[in-house]
Amino acid sequence: MKNKHLFFIFFVFILFIVFLFSFSSFTFAAYPKLVSKLIKGFESIKEWIIKIATPAAAVAVRHRCIYEKI
C-alpha cells in the first residue's frame, strides 16, 4: 500500500516537471510580441477616435454657446 502511494507521488512529480519544461519556453517566448502588436493597434485606434471626435466636440460646444445666447 505504501509502495503504491510512493509510486503515485513520484509519477505526479515527474509529470509536473515534464509539463513545466515543455510548455514554459515556447509559450512565454511569443507573449511580448503579441502584446506589443495589440498595444500598437489600440494606440492607432485611439488616435483615430481622437481625430474624429475633436471636431465634433468643437461643434457641440459652439452650438451650446449659440443656444445659450438665444
pLDDT, tens digit (0-9, with 9 covering 90-100), for 36-69: 888 888 999 989 888 887 777 666 666 655 555 5
Can you give the pTM of this predicted structure? 0.39
Strand, helix or coil for residue 61: helix
Cell, residue 30: 511569443
Beta strands in the chain (DSSP E): none
Amino acid, res. 47: E
% of the chain exceeding 90 in pLDDT: 10
